[in-house]
Amino acid sequence: GENVEQHPSTLSVQEGDSAVIKCTYSDSASNYFPWYKQELGKGPQLIIDIRSNVGEKKDQRIAVTLNKTAKHFSLHITETQPEDSAVYFCALRRIDSWGKLQFGAGTQVVVTP
Amino acid sequence: SAVISQKPSRDICQRGTSLTIQCQVDSQVTMMFWYRQQPGQSLTLIATANQGSEATYESGFVIDKFPISRPNLTFSTLTVSNMSPEDSSIYLCSVSGTENQPQHFGDGTRLSIL
- The DSSP result for A31-73, as a single string, is EEEEEEEE-TTS--EEEEEEETT-SEEEETTEEEEEETTTTEE
Whether the CB of B8 is below 8 Å from some CB of chain A: the reply is no
How many Cβ atoms sit within 10 Å of the Cβ of residue B46? 23
Beta carbons of A99 and B99 less than 8 Å apart: yes
pLDDT given for residue A3 in this prediction: 83
**Chain B partners within 8 Å of A43 (Cβ):** 4, 92, 105-108
pLDDT given for residue B99 in this prediction: 81
Contact present, A56 and A48 (Cβ < 8 Å): no
For chain A, which ranges sit under pLDDT 50?
A: 1
A85-103, pLDDT tens digit by residue? 999 999 999 988 888 999 9
φ, ψ of residue A84 to 5 degrees: the values are -80, -10
pLDDT given for residue A40 in this prediction: 95
Q: Please name the member of A1, A42, A101 whose beta carbon is closest to the beta carbon of B107.
A: A42
Q: How many beta-carbon pairs below 8 A join chains A and B?
A: 52
pLDDT given for residue A2 in this prediction: 55
φ, ψ of residue A82 to 5 degrees: the values are -55, -35
Whether the CB of B19 is below 8 Å from some CB of chain A: the reply is no
If one compares B99 and B9, the residue with the highest pLDDT of the two is B9
B50-89, pLDDT tens digit by residue? 998 899 999 999 999 999 999 999 999 999 999 999 999 9
Q: What is the C-alpha separation between A74 and A68, in angstroms, rounded?
A: 12
